[in-house]
Chain A
Amino acid sequence: MSVELRDLRKAFGHVTALDDVSLTIAPGEFLALLGPSGSGKTTLLRVLAGLEFPDSGEVVIDNRSMHGVPARQRGVGFVFQHYALFRHMTVARNIAFGINVRPRHRRPKAREIRARVQSLLDLMEIGHLGQRYPEQISGGQRQRVALARALAIEPKLLLLDEPFGALDAKVRKNLRIWLRMLHDKMGLTSIFVTHDQTEAMEMADRIAVLRSGRIEEVGPPAKLYAEPASIFVHEFLGESVRFSGTVADGRMRVDALPDVGTATCSPSGPAVALIRPHEIGLLPGPGPARCERQETLGPLRRTRISVLDQAFDVLTPDGMWTPAVGQTCRLDLTRARVYPAADDRPG
């Protein structure tokens, strides 16, 4: 099932939640909407489900415009952030709800419904919990019930709003892998909202990074990490060390390190160079950088470097040369990515 978002705009009063969002999601894809809080990702998900209406623009699901189609007729599975389980119903009745509210001629027999609920419970590995109430089960179990309830209506498109937000770290990690496998097994198209970049990197086929209601960049996690198109995406996905400087004649010169230069095709003028801690090279010899501290973390060594008023960590494989504490060294920043400083909008 393909999904297409065309020029979506939505404002709440004076606050712009979605600002000209366009995006295409391929059938079978697992897409993460990633962004800081208030970036519009939940609004986007709710617009897709028909719980919120865009001021302009269009949602097209499976080549059918959703304009004027109410939530109840979209057949989209939605997993709410705090699960929104019906607290007065048992787990089994929660899961059966979407089938039970169908018109009589489209409703299967009671026995069939029961069998379907049980198979969903089994699929979620909570087969024994059918007769419990939501308040009697754990957070991770509730998450699975919410998922089973959404899947009971056999949606082709599954939307998940911060599905792991309310769970503790260990449960979260297990559920992530399990959910991704479920997605593949059932042939779903899934879109999930998260503010956790590790989660997005681990699970998604593609990540759409949102910022102030706009899509900043869309792409596979590895590409977004290795070649982020903007300063914002670079700093939002993974750790970054930042140097400011100037580009002239195709070379970036860092203010703090006049003798360090990086070739770039960025236009001349004030610029920002960003580099990941493991991409920084440490070279022996007298230089402006000084080693402050050093730790070995298993296969890696973390070296705390200070340069003038700036301090940052460098990660190197254990066994590579690093300066001793107090020793100075030179830096190799050739792997840095250079962006025009004008792109550096806050927020």
Chain B
Amino acid sequence: MRIAQRSALPGFAPSFAVTLVWLSLIVLIPLAALALRPWELGVLGVWRSVTEPRVVAALRLSFGTAALAAAINVPIGLLIAWVMVRYRFYGRNLADSLIDMPLALPTAVAGISLTALFAPKGWIGALLVPLGIKVAYTPLGILVALIFVGLPFVVRTLEPIIMDLPLEAEEVAATLGARRAQIVARIVLPALLPALLAGFGAALARGVGEYGSVIFIAGNMPMISEIAPLLIVIRLEQLDYAGAAALGLVMLLASFVILLLLNLLQRRMIVHA
């Protein structure tokens, strides 16, 4: 059987075989375990396991906070991406590297440093105490952590799109008498809408599964500030493998469904643009 169209270049069969074997061992077989193990509980058992009030609260917190953080990251990311692409300023290269900081910094490090920053005695936390705002050990802390880790996804998704925006469209609008604000609102933003949505989706997907940067600052109070990934860890510690797998599977499927919907929406927008 010949899988690839015959080519003069050698090495398809061995490289394909290595890839497939490695992919199966490291990714596919383990994920198959995730897909199959929950059903040891039976369909009803899985349903009960993922509809426990504590689980529902955790899922709502994880997805809700991730969505909110992603939504907050959209305007911030747009501003940063716009300035990075369109402007040349002193320290721009440094700023560019800084944007990747949340990706390069191990999540545990981000977690403890954000906790230190926002603790009541921390640099920022101390400023917020007089205002009556408590960030560390509350759901607000989770939000802060997810904003931190999600920001690069929005910026990096937007940058190439902004770079490819045809300047002519803006220039034509200007020759037709549009003011700068009108140009931005009517020409630039609509063209960026699909990318904004894609960046939102990427940040959301990252936020839903985020663990390291969140658990230190969250406080981890059941029903209040306990995220879904933490609940998986807790179930594993109780040797409830099937329950942990059920929760993991639900999270994974929910993320995929959301990304799929965002993707469809994005396509519709591109078609209608």
Contacts and interface: CB of A to CB of B under 8 A. Distances in A.
7 contacts: A50-B8, A51-B8, A52-B8, A53-B6, A53-B8, A70-B8, A71-B8
Contacts of B6: 53
A142 to B, nearest CB: 23
The A interface, classified by DSSP as helix, strand, loop or mixed, is: loop
A245 B273 CA distance: 51
Contacts of A52: 8
The B interface, classified by DSSP as helix, strand, loop or mixed, is: loop
Interface residues of B, number: 2
B27 to A, nearest CB: 31
Interface in B209-248: none
Interface in A67-115: 70-71
Interface in B2-48: 6, 8
Contacts of A70: 8
Contacts of B8: 50-53, 70-71
Nearest to A70: B8
B201 to A, nearest CB: 33
Contacts of A51: 8
Nearest to B10: A70
A50 B9 CA distance: 10
Interface string A36-70: 00000000000000111100000000000000001
Nearest to A46: B8
A285 to B, nearest CB: 57
A52 B6 CA distance: 8
Contacts of A53: 6, 8
A71 B8 CA distance: 7
A170 B247 CA distance: 71
Nearest to A49: B8
Nearest to A13: B5
A52 B8 CA distance: 6
A70 B6 CA distance: 12
B11 to A, nearest CB: 13
A276 B154 CA distance: 63
A207 B41 CA distance: 76
A51 B6 CA distance: 10
A77 to B, nearest CB: 16
